[in-house]
Structure 1
Amino acid sequence: MDEQDDRQGDQRNIVSVCERAQTAWFTARAEHLGGEVWTDGPLTWVDGPDGLNLMFPEQIDSDALQRGIERARSAEHELIGAWLSHETDASALIGAGFERGWAPWWMSASIDDIDTAEDPRVHVGVHPDDRSDEKSHERYDKLLQLADAAPDRAFYAGVRVDGVLAGHAWAYVDGDVAGIFDLDVWPPFRRRGLGAALLHSVAGAARERGARTAVLSTSPQGAIVYRAQHFNRVGMAQTWWLHI
């Protein structure tokens, strides 16, 4: 029983690291890109490029929740997101009209276990061509600004095939932990090893910046890919959404 308790405790600790990395990423984007971060009792709100998000409260105070919703209405937001630990009671969200969203799987790996060999198809850092290719997506263009502003912690990787942008990823280093975010390869370029190449490159860049552990959230389908790269599933989260 003691060994089982120890394993469960270790798993909870890793999940808390995943939640910390997600919160740090959302916070950095808000602070560098003209957004806002505030706390109201037990609630931490982040208003950034993806709109307003409630980040991993242990408990949800209904009055504080309503104040956040009213603030979102005043700012003319159309959507509020809430990220919760798997065990957190979401009844206050349900009472406020939130609807259940996807359930992210948390995964973690030691960076020493990840192949971090450089791939000539991948470049880490913002290039002029990236700005041109990403500019049609306002959110991505703003993230490139963050990569420029804090290259020691936030960085972008793009992968190209015959000079054409085929996918991208972001990472954010918080102490010895690197969160990997929005890793994606466009459909016409999939099944060529480009996703693995992106992952290897951002993991290598994160190690150069002092990270020893990589964490990410994914779907059950995506987990199959990351398991092949030495990531292990460590827990789950809840997401909830309110259209206002």
Structure 2
Amino acid sequence: MTATVADCERVQRSWFQLRSRVLGGDAWEDDGLVWANGDLMFPQVIDPAALARGVERARAQGARTVGAWLSPDVDPRPLAAAGFERGWEPWWMAGPIDLGGIPADARVELQESTTDYRGIHAGYAADLAMARLRPARAWYAAAYDEGRFAGRAWSHQVGDLAGVFDVDVWQPFQRRGLGTGLMQAVCSAAAVVGAQTVVLNSTPTGVRLYEKCGLERIGTGITWWLHLPIGAGPSPGASHSL
């Protein structure tokens, strides 16, 4: 199948909603606006009143930043009026799930639990609850270099599509092929359950890796961000029924 930007957005929305549901976050809809963990996900039209309610709900739950993911053709003026600032641009990319036949890498393994995260990163281990879902919908892979934890990646299957997320190889281990190994592991896992096309959003620094895996850029999005002051509470009279 040929993926579109709308497909990329749909998979991104599903990933945020999955994380919210499994990890105890908050996901809701209000007057056509879809929210997950305090982020507004690809609205077609932004109603200022519904936007204000969403910001207040995120604020009441302790959010420090509220994000909004948009298509470039959506009018962002309600966001600007509410104090959001334009942010980075997701570069939507897509390609065949087999990544051009990249072989498996023995340094990379799929995991459903981990002890790799320590200190301020210890909380990330809880994310692997998504990898333990049945039927499987998400897969986590970890990379190791001579026994040292070197990187990670996720995939999430939505029908014929597999979204890839959170691909990261720690700086001391970069340029050793671990990125392609991580991509192969999580894409292969999604292919087993029927995914045919991989989609993701890239920053400029990641494009080289994804192009090496056979992906092409198919479009551009935009993010907006509202940074809430520390200690900010709900506005007087605001309702926060959940």
- Same fold (TM > 0.5): yes
Q: Could you tell me which residue of structure 1 aligns to residue 20 of structure 2?
A: 30
**Equivalent pair of 2:165/2:200 in contact (CA under 8 Å):** yes
Q: Could you tell me which residue of structure 2 aligns to residue 195 of structure 1?
A: 179
Q: Which runs of 5+ in 1 are unaligned?
A: 1-9
What's the CA shift for 1:223?
1.2
What's the CA shift for 1:224?
2.1
**Equivalent pair of 2:72/2:222 in contact (CA under 8 Å):** yes
CA RMSD in angstroms, aligned pairs only:
1.7
Q: Please say if 1:89 is aligned against 2:75.
A: yes
C-alpha separation in 2, matches of 1:155 and 1:56: 24
Q: Please say if 1:57 is aligned against 2:40.
A: no
**Equivalent pair of 1:116/1:203 in contact (CA under 8 Å):** no
Q: Could you tell me which residue of structure 2 aligns to residue 44 of structure 1?
A: 34
Q: Could you tell me which residue of structure 2 aligns to residue 5 of structure 1?
A: none
Q: Please say if 1:235 is aligned against 2:219.
A: yes
What's the CA shift for 1:125?
2.1
Q: Could you tell me which residue of structure 2 aligns to residue 226 of structure 1?
A: 210
Q: Which amino acid aligns with 1:169?
A: A
Q: Which amino acid aligns with 2:115?
A: S
**Equivalent pair of 1:116/1:204 in contact (CA under 8 Å):** no
Q: Could you tell me which residue of structure 2 aligns to residue 6 of structure 1?
A: none
1:211–1:116 CA distance, 2 compared to 1 (3 A)? farther
Q: Please say if 1:102 is aligned against 2:88.
A: yes
Q: Which amino acid aligns with 2:196?
A: R
C-alpha separation in 1, matches of 2:86 and 2:48: 17
Q: Could you tell me which residue of structure 2 aligns to residue 172 of structure 1?
A: 156
What's the CA shift for 1:89?
1.0
Q: Which amino acid aligns with 1:103?
A: E
Q: Could you tell me which residue of structure 1 aligns to residue 117 of structure 2?
A: 134
2:105 to 104, 119, 131: 119
Q: Could you tell me which residue of structure 1 aligns to residue 11 of structure 2?
A: 21
Identify the range of structure 1 (149-158 vs 226-235) with the bigger mean alpha-carbon deviation: 149-158
C-alpha separation in 1, matches of 2:145 and 2:41: 37
Equivalenced residue count is 227
Give me the TM-score of the superposition, normalised by structure 1: 0.88
3-state SS of the aligned residue for 2:4? helix
C-alpha separation in 2, matches of 1:102 and 1:177: 24
C-alpha separation in 2, matches of 1:149 and 1:176: 19
What's the CA shift for 1:210?
1.0
**Equivalent pair of 1:55/1:82 in contact (CA under 8 Å):** yes
**Equivalent pair of 1:114/1:200 in contact (CA under 8 Å):** no
What's the CA shift for 1:188?
0.3
C-alpha separation in 2, matches of 1:114 and 1:202: 14
Q: Could you tell me which residue of structure 1 aligns to residue 62 of structure 2?
A: 76
* CA deviation string 1:66-89 (max 9, x = no partner): 111111222221110110112111
**Where do 4+ consecutive residues of structure 1 move more than 3 Å?**
none
1:95–1:184 CA distance, 2 compared to 1 (3 A)? same
C-alpha separation in 2, matches of 1:209 and 1:116: 19
3-state SS of the aligned residue for 2:88? coil
Q: Percent identity?
A: 45
* CA deviation string 1:192-214 (max 9, x = no partner): 11101111111111111210010
